Amino acid sequence: MKARKIVKKSRKGGDMSRYERRGVSSTKEEVHAAIAHLDKGLYPGAFCKILPDVLGGDPKYCNIQHADGAGTKAGLAYLMWKLHNLVGVWRGVVRCSLFMNLDDVGCAGGVGPFLVSLAIDRNKALIPGDVISEIINGCQEVCDLLTSYGIPCVFSGGETADVGDLVRTITVNNTVTVRFKRREVIDASRISAPAYIVGFSSTGQAQWETEINSGVGANGFTNARHDVLSPVYRKHTETYAPETEENLVYCGDYTLLDALPGDIRFSIGTALLSPTRTYLPLFVRLFQEVGRKNFLGLVHNSGGGQIKCGKFGQLGIAYVKDQLFPVPPLFALLKKARGLSWREMYTSYNMGHRLEAVVRSKEIARDCIAVAKACGIDAQIVGKVIQDKKNPGRRSVRIKTADASERYWF
């Protein structure tokens, strides 16, 4: 495969990031442009699109139907399964897919009951029935787990399509549907200054988890696997797009079984495939013990990483994140592997906390932190929301890197 010699430019005119050169966008500008004309729902500023009660016809209720998936993390699971016969990685993949959905919905105030659908596209020549069984049974397992925590989750079935002409290995996606009262909506358009930002760690072991979490989630994997894993994996051509420049394909120094620098509890493979954490049981306790009315907004730092919050709230505010969590070992490795800038790291990954709550006072922030601690999750005030008088017509995000070496404005 011959590397292209041209220097590609982003739509904004600068050099394209490694993420963009691999055919991926963390900001999804084209998608947002495509849906710009669509109705924004009952609460245009909420984290998810909220519909009228189409299912029940009750003006006091609303509906959310939300779709998401595990992305290219499924491709990494395929590599781990194929080379090391670890079929259990597939249950982690479906958790990633489902929790990316559920936590988005939770940020808008929906905590069940949920209807859950599963969609699998596979290349049948490479993905046998036992993998499909792991994924389907894993989805039911997650629904049972959440139900046991008082979050009713009903697995309604789904679709498995054999589309080898279109899919190189496999994709795993879920759709979730919830009906709840409009007075329970968390409308992130309420976010204003002054306020405090509470971050909830993506690492460690929450009360409902059976193993320690590396914190990686399910975003940024097109960069993560190629920047960390060795060229020895290039021969597995079904795991990457043939259009990708050769020098961007598996250009790291590690194998899946190498120990994770800084945390030998993980191998590189287990750290990258650590199942995405769900904060849904935490949402329930926060709503019960702190009160929904005390949350100006909740933000799931998925696509867009630490600048995701900049899409929400009133105009003329700035999110100032200057007390972030220490960078977890896996993210430190991802940065070091290819010398990525802090800017690219903070816009691609959650960098240590994948959920944040915006609240009005330090007292409420302390209550949130206490509830999180009872759930086995570290939490802290990571910043504040201030008035930005110089930019009254927009929202901005200001980040001080965890090592305090640099500051960024978005």
Sign of the C-alpha dihedral, residues 306, 307, 313, 319? positive
Task: Convert the pLDDT of each residue in 205-260 to its tens digit.
Answer: 999 999 999 999 999 999 999 999 999 999 999 999 999 999 999 999 999 999 99
Separation between Cα atoms, residue 392 and residue 370, nearest integer Å: 35
Compute φ and ψ for 383, nearest 5 degrees: 170, -160
Compute φ and ψ for 262, nearest 5 degrees: 95, -15
**Given this model, what pLDDT does residue 24 score?**
63
Compute φ and ψ for 190, nearest 5 degrees: -75, -15
Evaluate whether 353 touches 200 at the Cβ level (below 8 Å): yes
pLDDT-derived band at 18 (thresholds 50, 70, 90) equals low
pLDDT(147) > 90: yes
Task: Convert the pLDDT of each residue in 297-332 to its tens digit.
Answer: 999 999 899 999 999 999 999 999 999 999 999 999
pTM of the model: 0.91
Q: Which helix (H) or strand (E) holds 221?
A: helix 221-228
Separation between Cα atoms, residue 299 and residue 309, nearest integer Å: 6
pLDDT(25) > 60: no
**Given this model, what pLDDT does residue 29 score?**
66
pLDDT-derived band at 33 (thresholds 50, 70, 90) equals confident
Task: Convert the pLDDT of each residue in 50-81 to its tens digit.
Answer: 999 999 999 999 999 999 999 999 999 999 99
Encoded tokens for 298: 């909740």
Task: Convert the pLDDT of each residue in 260-301 to its tens digit.
Answer: 999 999 999 999 999 999 999 999 999 999 999 999 999 999
DSSP 204: B
User: Could you give the 3-state DSSP secondary structure of residue 88?
Assistant: coil
CATH fold group of domain 18-215+273-409: 60s Ribosomal Protein L30; Chain: A; (3.30.1330)
Evaluate whether 69 touches 121 at the Cβ level (below 8 Å): no
Task: Convert the pLDDT of each residue in 353-376 to its tens digit.
Answer: 999 999 999 999 999 999 999 999
For the chain, what are the domain ranges? 18-215+273-409
